[in-house]
Structure 1
Amino acid sequence: MLGFRDPVADAIGLLRPRTVIGPNLRASGEWALRFDPFLHVRVGGLVRGTCWLILEGQEPVLLQEGDTFMLGNPPPYVLASTLDTSPRPAAPVWAGAEDGFVRIGPEAVEDLYLCVGHIAFDDRNATLLTDLLPPLVIVRAADPQGGRLGQLIDLLATEVGVVAAGGPLVQNHLAQILLVHMLRAHAAQTHRPTGWLGALNEDGIGAALRAVHADLAHSWTLKELAEISHMSRSAFAEAFKSHVGVPPLEYLIHWRMSLARDALARDILSIPELARATGYRSESAFSTAFRRVVGSSPAQFRHQARQSSRSTANGH
């Protein structure tokens, strides 16, 4: 039986997030670092001080103490003490980290303390989240969720460089909690995101999404989902596509196939069991839907996943 809870928890669980916290930055004086593009998500916050975040193609943003930010598949960007400081590549500076910290400027003076982490996802399903995120989300210290996020950043900063039992586990869980709170804050901001993330804030559409995720084995119809949303079928279908970007039954099929790919890759269910768990009355109906969305049969996909796992285990 596949476990389902709510859209955010399901998506993050399916993404198999891998977190690397740090190195963190302690800096004084004038400095500027240029970072190359990277995949997936980076989260961070200012424990102390101020600095500029300059994302290619966007206006520079001044980050202040207590502010938290999230970068989603961002283009090149610069962190700097001032806008007129010439940036240097960050990679060699980051490579010189010691005990979880990079230091710029005199050690006796710490104008800035920046805590950062990188969250990488399973490539097969990463677009479930990254396609919904803008390059930059900022939650200010004074925002309604700012205080809670600031506390999480402080906790993460405390864990970096401390050799203690369970340290990596604590860092990973804190980073995932931070990610969820950043997603909530982003969804609540004035310019709401598209896709299922923004739709969760819509009473009717959100209720239908939560119902689907709570019981994916059910053979959902458009009529049932519309009734949950207290709308007519036509109004529900139009509103769902407007908020989520695809028709409701197409969303349902793609979500089922995302979970099916994950279960096949991890080899946790037989194909008949997986068909029942994802709402199909027969293995053939499930296989037809899977092939249409994924491009191969479930058996072929599982075989390829097993071969890939063996190659990885053998170091190839």
Structure 2
Amino acid sequence: MDPLSNVLSLLNIQSITPSRLEAGGPWALRFDGYRHVKCGAVLAGSCWVTVGDMEPVRVEAGDCYLISGGAPYRMAGDLKTEAVHAPVAYREAVDGVLRYGTADEVVIVGGPIGLDEANARLLLDILPPFVHVPARSGQAEALRAALGLLAHESTAPGLGGEFMADLIARIVFVQTLRAHAAAAAAEGRPPGGWLSALMDPQIGPALRLMHEDKARQWTVAELATAVGMSRSSFALRFKTAVGSAPLDHLLRWRMHSAGQELRQTGRTVHSIAADWGYGSESAFSNAFKRVMGVSPRAYRVGAPARAGGPVKAPLPMGR
């Protein structure tokens, strides 16, 4: 399994049925931050999106975007118009469709993406507050078919409509992550963690090697040799691209993966430790607690992980 698939399998992605906004004239809506990720797509027209204190970004037909990390944001046809709190406006929505303002000059479909709380930081820590994939970019081409289906389901849902909308929203979400990684690599943007590092011609293969054999006890020298680099050059380039040292990244992914097994299976801690290449349960337990903040047994019975930065408490989602 490739690294992105590995992480996505840990996130237990849950998409709430997307809602549709049709707006026109001088309009503006302000939204509370979402706990994890908001995924959106512009089906027609254009508008402004302002996330937190960032400069407004113009999004147009065919564009997709992600808003992450709990930042509040604003959507507007006119930046000078005073914004109405979105949950108030959405009281007038009918069957998930809000017609706001004077017409349907812009049509947007979007909804929240929920992630497994224990593993959410694996993704949230490396995403910027706003990811924008313009329709004119080469990476957006693969999104067009999904957007066509999403537009159809949001206007004329048939049998199994909610299920279909959920599946399509997930496809748009993952494809937007792919596009973000590809664009960051192509444009030489500052390093964006393991996701954009997957596109690096030498660090990407190293990451894939790490994820292919969960029990192998890699050394930095072995990884460097495998991708044709010196140990020192590899260690520096990896930390610059990913944001952590090679073995620290490997340990974090392994312990999050082991944590999923602890909660989803009845296997003993000893057998899980052996699967992940640990010769003793105590060595595995020490490594697990270092990353997750609690012991394997405490984690299994529901104790929350205390690793990484805190995720903001949920706010009313509106739409």
**TM-score, L = length of structure 1:** 0.88
CA distance in 2, matches of 1:163, 1:183: 26
Report if aligned partners of 2:19, 2:97 keep a CA contact under 8 Å in 1: yes
CA distance in 1, matches of 2:68, 2:209: 28
CA distance in 1, matches of 2:289, 2:250: 15
The answer for the alignment partner of 1:228 in structure 2 is 226
**Cα-to-partner distance string for 1:116-146 (whole Å, 9 max, x where unaligned):** 1210111111110111111111111111022
Structure 1 position 131 matched with structure 2 position 125: yes
Structure 2 unpaired stretches of 5+: 305-319
Root-mean-square deviation over aligned CA pairs: 2.0
CA distance in 1, matches of 2:263, 2:108: 37
Report if aligned partners of 1:115, 1:153 keep a CA contact under 8 Å in 2: no
Superposed, which structure 2 residues align to 1:1-316 within 5 Å? 5-105=1-101, 109-160=103-154, 162-189=156-183, 190=187, 191-304=189-302
Letter in 2 for 1:128: L
Give the fraction of aligned pairs with identical amino acids, expressed as a percent.
Answer: 40
Judge which range, 257-266 or 292-301, deviates more.
Answer: 292-301
Deviation (angstroms), 1:29: 2.3
Deviation (angstroms), 1:48: 1.0
CA distance in 1, matches of 2:59, 2:283: 52
Report if aligned partners of 1:74, 1:136 keep a CA contact under 8 Å in 2: no
Report if aligned partners of 1:68, 1:150 keep a CA contact under 8 Å in 2: no
CA distance in 2, matches of 1:199, 1:47: 30
Deviation (angstroms), 1:173: 2.5
Aligned length: 300
Letter in 2 for 1:174: I
Deviation (angstroms), 1:22: 2.4
Higher relative contact order (CA 8 A, sep 6+): 2
Matched residue of 1:45: which SS?
A: strand
CA distance in 2, matches of 1:273, 1:70: 39
CA distance in 1, matches of 2:60, 2:157: 29
**Cα-to-partner distance string for 1:3-39 (whole Å, 9 max, x where unaligned):** xx11111111101111013221012322111111222
Report if aligned partners of 1:67, 1:150 keep a CA contact under 8 Å in 2: no
**TM-score, L = length of structure 2:** 0.88
Letter in 2 for 1:185: A
Structure 1 unpaired stretches of 5+: 307-316
CA distance in 2, matches of 1:145, 1:293: 35
Letter in 1 for 2:18: G
Letter in 2 for 1:76: P
CA distance in 2, matches of 1:268, 1:195: 33
CA distance in 2, matches of 1:74, 1:58: 14
CA distance in 2, matches of 1:138, 1:129: 16
